[in-house]
Amino acid sequence: MSMPPSIRLEFTQKHPDFPWLDASPSQPLSDVLTRAGVIKQGEQVIRVEKAGQGNMNLTLRVWLNHDRHSRTVILKQSRPWVEKYDFIPAPWDRALVEAAFYQSVRHHPEIQSQMPRFLGVDEPSRSLVLEDLGEGRDLSSAYQTHHVGENDIATVARYLRALHDTDYADTSMLLTNQAMRELNHAYIFDLPLKSIDLPALDKFEVGLGAAAKRLAGDVAYCKAVKQTGDRYLASRFADAGACLLHGDCFPGSWLSTPRGLFVIDPEFCFFGDPEFDVGVVIAHLALARCDIAHARSLVANYARPLDPNRLSAYAAIEVMRRLIGVAQLPLPSDKPFRVELLQRSHAAMLNHKWELLWN
């Protein structure tokens, strides 16, 4: 099967004067850092490398040197495509939304202490610059180990509670993030049940394609997914109970460092149901086949009232889309479990009980 055409090629040819950055020192890179207010007088870029996987954006670690002293910063540039899949279009201004998120939380110590410090933004190049947290690893290993540390779960829960509890009355309208929400809506609530590739799914686990097709044929289930997706897409800052959400709070956004656990990559942020963020975390604990005690600990540490129906719906749908959608995870294939978990997500959705993801 041929690959779709590269959006990267189309845009780089159409905008030859745009500073398309890469992992090498260059004058455009220095100009971006200067406009962002990050480069100090006399500093020079001496080394650049990619930082992390960079699924959505180009993410670079940049070394700056002055008078034999050096420091590093992290630069993120958003492009009109998904960095990992350059045939998928994505909102070009998402780095500016992420910058607005960091600026909104920078004066709230409980939130800021669990995220890298915001250093600057260069709007013309769609770039933001963040504190370099040093060598770390995300917690995607949980899918292999089936475990997330108790302290890490408590940290994520407290972070989400602080984020959801804070008043953002003077927030930027960028945080409505409608374009990114429309992209996410398609890949979470819509496409997984419409674009089922049976042979491709059966490569992950025999029978997964057929299980996905049965799910897509369940009228009551599809109606419930659509209603939840409609709510996700329509939520607004002014809605009763709406909170500022991280929008993609899963192990790939939890960075373990010698300084502790940090939450990164809030580019999918928006104002909506707190149950969305918490439900996504619960879903990934189920996908990682962690003990249900992990999920119960998360809810207990979050210590904020949650609507059980919404929580169960968001958790169940996140499991579904990660099993049969495009955004696949590094799940082990040592023994079959995907079909069973997909069936459990169906039960959790229709019975409004997220605990059914486990039994």
By CB neighbour count within 10 A (0-12 exposed, 13-18 middle, 19+ buried), where does 137 fall? exposed
Q: Quick one: angle between helices 338-351 and 208-216, nearest 10?
A: 20
Is residue 161 located within the same domain as residue 34? Answer: no
Is residue 109 located within the same domain as residue 125? Answer: yes
- Residue 1 inside a domain? The answer is no
Is residue 88 located within the same domain as residue 152? Answer: no
In this prediction the pTM is 0.93
- Report, as an integer, the average pLDDT of 183-203: 94
Question: Of 131, 151, 167, which residue sits at a domain end?
Answer: 131
User: Domains in the chain: how many in total?
Assistant: 2
Q: What is the pLDDT of residues 161-177, one digit of tens each?
A: 999 998 876 677 889 99
Is residue 112 located within the same domain as residue 164? Answer: no
- Residue 90 inside a domain? The answer is yes
Please give the residue range of the domain that contains residue 91: 7-131
DSSP lists the bridge partners of residue 267 as none
Is residue 271 located within the same domain as residue 200? Answer: yes
- Residue 245 inside a domain? The answer is yes
Going by C-beta distance under 8 Å and a sequence separation of 6 or more, which residues neighbour residue 178? none
pLDDT for 125 beyond 60: yes
Is residue 61 located within the same domain as residue 113? Answer: yes
Question: Of 131, 159, 194, which residue sits at a domain end?
Answer: 131
CATH assignment at residue 339: 3.90.1200.10
Residues 222 and 324: their CA atoms lie apart, in Å, by: 14
Q: How many other CB atoms are there within 10 angstroms of residue 233's CB atom?
A: 17
- Residue 190 inside a domain? The answer is yes
The H-or-E segment that residue 341 falls in is helix 338-351
Residue 116: name the closest of 266, 269, 264 by CA. 264
pLDDT for 224 beyond 50: yes
Question: Of 131, 147, 180, which residue sits at a domain end?
Answer: 131
What's the token pair of residue 334? 């040592």
Is residue 123 located within the same domain as residue 209? Answer: no
Percentage helix, strand, coil for the chain under 3-state DSSP, each rounded to 5: 50, 15, 35
- Report, as an integer, the average pLDDT of 67-94: 91
pLDDT for 2 beyond 70: no
Is residue 220 located within the same domain as residue 267? Answer: yes
Is residue 64 located within the same domain as residue 159? Answer: no
Is residue 82 located within the same domain as residue 156? Answer: no
Position 237 scores a pLDDT of 74
Confidence of residue 354 (pLDDT cuts 50, 70, 90): very high
Give Cα separations from 83 to 55, 90, 101, 243 (angstroms): 6, 9, 21, 29
Q: Which residue's structure tokens are 């460092």?
A: 257
Going by C-beta distance under 8 Å and a sequence separation of 6 or more, which residues neighbour residue 112? 105, 106
Confidence of residue 178 (pLDDT cuts 50, 70, 90): very high
Among residues of the chain, what percentage have pLDDT more than 90? 83
pLDDT for 329 beyond 70: yes
